[in-house]
Amino acid sequence: AEEAALPRLAPKFAFARGELCRRVRFDMRGRDVLVFLHIQKTGGTTFGRHLVRNMRLEQPCSCRAGQKKCACPRPGGDKDTWLFSRFSTGWSCGLHADWTELTSCVPAAMERRGGCPANRTL
């Protein structure tokens, strides 16, 4: 009865069920790169650390004690990375790069690192 008396908040944004439940194919062995968009004050630093330290992968990221960056090579490879984040590539696109900066910077940054142009997933 108390819940019925509470005002219902109208959703500000309406997302179609298909958008909320869509599946994205990510080929870690291929050329796909996961680009981590860090939004400040949302737990992004903790989540970014989990991406490089705690994921169960065929070839986990290798993190050295005392270093902030980890190497995240593709399975079977040793140079090309599957993850573009501050904990794997550093601040390659600047401090707290936003969506616009990342979409224009990532392809060139990956090429500078020796990777080939890739499909990117943010």
Location of structure tokens 């600047």: 94
Location of structure tokens 């903790």: 46
CB 47 within 8 A of CB 39: no
- DSSP class of residue 73 equals B
What backbone phi and psi angles, to 5 degrees, belong to 45? -65, -45
**82 vs 60: CA distance, rounded Å:** 11
Query: For this structure, is 96 an active site residue?
Result: yes
Catalytic residue among 50, 68, 96, 112, which?
Answer: 96
> Around Cβ 61, how many Cβ atoms within 10 Å?
20
- In angstroms, the first-to-last Cα distance of the chain is 43
Task: Please list the active-site residues.
Answer: 96
